[in-house]
């Protein structure tokens, strides 16, 4: 209640105001009513819009979209959009020589359901499909993300011969050379290898039906399967696996000091190839130093013709083939040992020796200077073909032409590929390398049968068990290397479309 006494107004709180003061207040309010209402309206509108802004929540997963556009002129098909969930998670990574716990953000694409879906996308891409919406994001699906994607250049800055393993080169190479239907098998094989890597980073042949005691060649060949698919220590879903394997191989090389010889020249050559390729794809300076040491050992060992199991005497085309290709990889990695006059002489003299071991009149490779390759065993013919190819001989070279004709007969025999049971894995591996480089009818025939045989004989299912692996085949390579060796070599065969570019 407001009390009025002698024109003095008293509020319930006891505050007193005169009539003149009351009139002033009322006038003030009345005089500014419009501004007051506008201010109230503006504040109400601001509060309303603020209420519409959502609270930012933690992102638990991202989506990577790949669009496949059909460009075939004879068919009209809708653009299909395939969205693959890629979970991002943080997890500790153990460091063997340190008690420090490192946390890395890694893309979890090794889940069987997720990865298979990604691989099926690659398998389904027709010959005339064009990929759209790709990016260099490290979270992109492995089917379109290759080694070198984080490096400068359209093809990841990779040297010639290896550019098809880049993000931009891989899918194009598969379309061009008939690789449809193979990527899910490659992915499953790599997951089997990853699951059966030893804790220290190596692979063990003896644990998986092999007899080779030394781990260096088995570790090297397994790493080549990952590198051949376009996955390195820094790129792709298997980077931790590759990182551990390279670290183990570096340590094994350093323990050999000035002579990194691993039981045989076969083993040392495979180790050199793995370390050289890892160097090409951005490994540490330690990797490059160790690769250079092995390369220098082979150059110093050379006596003017070729190599054998433990030296440069009593030459062997099979052993020499691995060493020469390893030195070729070392050259691509720009190792110092390959910049010397001695290294240049090695390649010149070795090229002459290869010509002697691959006679043009027969088209059959010889095992040693005193032994032939045999018409029933094409291994050395395919080794000789691949040697000539990466040494620069053209496709119409007389030996290559005659050897390709011989290969057509071996393809038709279904002894090596084309049957429900695989032939010797060593022959299949080198046959795939050599015939791919020749292309033509021989490659078309080989490719169809090779894919059919390998896809049929690969175990399906859980990679923690046998899923993704191949049973050991006949032959001494499978006997010594067991399931790890055979799985690695067959995986490399299915990577042939992009592993090496056309050399001539």
The answer to whether residue 194 sits within a structural domain is yes
Q: Is the pLDDT of residue 48 over 90?
A: no
For residues 16 and 130, state if they share a domain.
no
From 114, 141, 168, give the residue that closes a domain.
141
170 and 116 share one domain: no
- Whether 210 maps to a domain, the answer reads yes
Q: Kindly report, residue by residue over 240-291, the tens digit of the pLDDT.
A: 999 999 999 999 999 997 789 998 999 999 999 999 999 999 999 999 999 9
Looking at the structure, do residues 322 and 210 belong to the same domain, yes or no? yes
242: containing domain: 146-499
Same domain, 304 and 243: yes
Is residue 50 assigned to a domain? no
Indicate whether 375 and 297 sit together in one domain: yes
Regarding whether 215 and 94 lie in a shared domain, the answer is no
Q: Would you say residue 504 lies in a domain?
A: no
CATH number at residue 376: 1.50.10.20
305 belongs to a structural domain: yes
**Of 80, 114, 141, which residue constitutes the final position of a domain?**
141
Pairs from 78-84 (Cβ < 8 Å, separation ≥ 24): 82/121, 84/114, 84/117, 84/118, 84/121, 84/141
H or E element that contains 493: helix 476-494
Q: Considering the domain boundaries, does residue 375 fall inside one? A: yes
Which of the listed residues 94, 111, 141 is the one where a domain comes to its end?
A: 141
Do 35 and 162 have their domain in common? no
Torsion angle in degrees (nearest 10) through CA of 320, 325, 328, 333: -130
- For residue 53, being part of any structural domain is answered with no
The answer on 157 and 137 residing in a single domain is no
Q: Are residues 363 and 415 in the same domain?
A: yes
In a shared domain, residues 28 and 155:
no
Cβ neighbours for 426, distance < 8 A, ≥ 6 positions apart: 379, 475, 476, 477, 478, 489
Exposure pattern of 19-45 as b/e (b: 16+ CB <10 Å)? eeeeeeeeeeeeeeeeeeeeeeeeeee
Count of the separate structural domains present in the chain: 3
Residue 304 predicted with pLDDT over 60: yes
Same domain for 361 and 468, yes or no, is yes
Tell me what the pLDDT averaged over the chain comes to: 77
The answer to whether residue 446 sits within a structural domain is yes
pLDDT tens profile 108-138 = 333 333 333 223 333 333 333 322 222 232 3
Residue 392 falls in which region: left (phi positive, over 0), alpha (psi -120 to 50) or beta: left
Six token digits for residue 87: 């979970």
Same domain? 17 vs 135:
no
- Residue 157 — very low, low, confident or very high, per pLDDT cuts 50/70/90? confident
Q: Of 41-55, 215-229, 262-276, 290-304, where does mean pLDDT reach its minimum?
A: 41-55
Q: Which two tokens stand for residue 111?
A: 């889940």
Read off the pLDDT of residues 64-118 as tens digits, 9 standing for 90 and up: 333 333 333 333 333 233 333 333 333 333 333 333 333 333 333 333 333 332 2
């Amino acid at each position: 209640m407001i009390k009025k006494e002698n024109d003095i107004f008293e509020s319930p709180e006891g505050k007193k105001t005169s009539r003149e003061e009351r009139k002033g207040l009322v006038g003030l309010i009345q005089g500014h009513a419009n501004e007051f209402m506008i201010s109230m309206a503006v504040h109400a509108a601001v509060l309303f819009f603020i209420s519409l802004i959502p609270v930012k929540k933690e992102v638990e997963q991202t989506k990577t979209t790949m669009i496949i556009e059909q460009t075939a002129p004879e068919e009209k098909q809708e653009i299909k959009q395939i969205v693959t969930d890629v979970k991002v998670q943080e997890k500790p990574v153990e460091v063997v020589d340190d008690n420090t716990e490192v946390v890395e953000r890694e893309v979890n694409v090794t889940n069987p359901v997720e990865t298979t879906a990604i691989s099926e996308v690659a398998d389904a891409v027709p010959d005339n499909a064009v990929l759209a919406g790709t990016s260099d994001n490290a979270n992109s699906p492995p089917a379109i993300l290759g080694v070198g994607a984080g490096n400068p250049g359209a093809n990841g800055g990779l040297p010639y011969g290896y550019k098809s393993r880049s993000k931009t080169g891989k899918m194009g190479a598969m379309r061009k050379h008939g690789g449809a239907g193979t990527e899910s098998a490659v992915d499953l094989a790599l997951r089997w290898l990853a699951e059966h890597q030893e804790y220290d980073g190596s692979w063990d042949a003896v644990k998986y039906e092999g007899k080779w005691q030394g781990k260096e060649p088995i570790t090297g060949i397994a790493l080549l399967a990952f590198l051949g698919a376009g996955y390195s220590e820094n790129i792709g879903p298997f980077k931790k696996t590759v990182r551990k394997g390279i670290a183990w191989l570096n340590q094994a090389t350093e323990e050999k000091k000035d002579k990194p010889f691993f039981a045989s020249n076969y083993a040392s050559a495979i180790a050199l190839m793995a370390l050289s390729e890892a160097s090409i794809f951005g490994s540490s300076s330690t990797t490059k130093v160790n690769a250079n040491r092995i390369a220098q050992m082979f150059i110093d060992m050379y006596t003017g013709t070729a190599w054998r199991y433990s030296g440069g005497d009593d030459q062997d085309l099979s052993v020499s083939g691995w060493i020469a290709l390893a030195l070729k990889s070392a050259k691509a990695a720009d190792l110092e040992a390959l910049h010397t006059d001695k290294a240049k002489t090695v390649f010149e003299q070795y090229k002459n020796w290869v010509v002697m071991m691959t006679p043009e009149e027969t088209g059959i490779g010889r095992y040693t200077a005193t032994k032939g390759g045999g018409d029933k065993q094409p291994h050395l013919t395919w080794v000789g073909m691949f040697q000539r190819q990466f040494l620069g001989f053209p496709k119409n070279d007389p030996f290559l032409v005659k050897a390709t004709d011989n290969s057509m007969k071996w393809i038709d025999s279904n002894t090596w590929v084309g049957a429900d049971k695989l032939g010797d894995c060593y022959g299949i591996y080198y046959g795939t390398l050599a015939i791919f480089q020749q292309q033509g009818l021989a490659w078309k025939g080989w490719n169809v049968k090779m894919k059919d045989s390998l896809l049929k004989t690969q175990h399906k299912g859980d990679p923690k068990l046998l899923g993704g692996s191949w049973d050991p085949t006949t032959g001494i390579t499978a006997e010594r290397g067991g399931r790890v060796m055979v799985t690695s070599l067959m995986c490399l065969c299915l990577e042939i479309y992009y592993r090496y570019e056309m050399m001539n």
